[in-house]
Amino acid sequence: MSRVLVTAGAAGIGRSILEAFVKAGSQVHICDVDEAVLNRTMQEIPGVTGSVADVASEPNVDRLFEDVKRHLGGLDVLVNNAGIAGPTGPVETLSLADWERTMGVNLTGQFLCTRRAVPMLKEAGGGSIVNLSSVAGRLGYPLRTPYASAKWAVVGFSKSLASELGGFGIRVNAIQPGIVAGERMKRVIAARAASQGKSEREVEEQYLEQISLRRMVEPTDIAAMVLFLCSEAGRNITGQAISVCGNVESLK
């Protein structure tokens, strides 16, 4: 039975990843910034433990990993799932605070968690790290420059770590989700519609027209790929950025 930490694991894609690992028999600890949602998830899935934590905060991450040690006794898998959409708008209108917050959660948070996780993975004799990037990490994304910049950086972070940690039996991969159905995507569409002066339906149709399969992916699709990469079946996959997206052709 593997010992797993999923950041932002109480809702959305993180909740689906949590459920997939629990179904596979893993012992899972999650964190989230929303204490109410975190508590509800732990009540709904017996045996799951959790911490309130903002991954962009070094003290929060330090407390999170003390909780992981206490509840799991070690670590075999880290899933760096926490992320935010960041601001939508022309680059000249964006604030430094919004830029730094987007980078803080989407990139620095992965660094802070990985820095604490690696000694535990080495102690376990190896393991797996999965970092959530995005198709915005392989495509340009106008009006979403902070988000896209962070997600491109996640790919470089992951590939570098794969080379650095391979000798310790630690595999590192990035997943690049496409347009994922759910409340977060609804908020992104609403913000983009407001920025472009279009209806939300028009913006949604724009997105779908840029996907080869003409449909959004589900959080369970992402969770299935995470589980595969961390399983014995994925034992020789490392240093990869894998899109689960229905083939998003462009982001405009």
Q: Which two tokens stand for residue 125?
A: 């004799």
Active-site residue flag, 141: no
Measured CA to CA, the distance from residue 73 to residue 92 in angstroms comes to 48
Active-site option among 21, 65, 141, 147: 147
Query: Residue 26 to residues 91, 116, 160, 170, 250: CA-CA distances in angstroms?
Result: 43, 20, 27, 18, 36
Q: Which residue has the tokens 């982001």?
A: 251
Measured CA to CA, the distance from residue 56 to residue 80 in angstroms comes to 12
Could you list the beta-strand ranges (E) of the chain: 3-6, 27-32, 49-52, 77-80, 127-132, 170-177, 241-244
Which residues make Cβ contacts (< 8 Å) with residue 21, sequence separation at least 6?
2, 4, 6, 28, 77, 227
Please name which of 158, 62, 182, 33 lies closest in space to residue 107, comparing C-alpha atoms: 158
Query: Residue 224 to residues 75, 86, 196: CA-CA distances in angstroms?
Result: 20, 26, 34
Would you please indicate which residues are annotated as catalytic (active-site) residues? 147
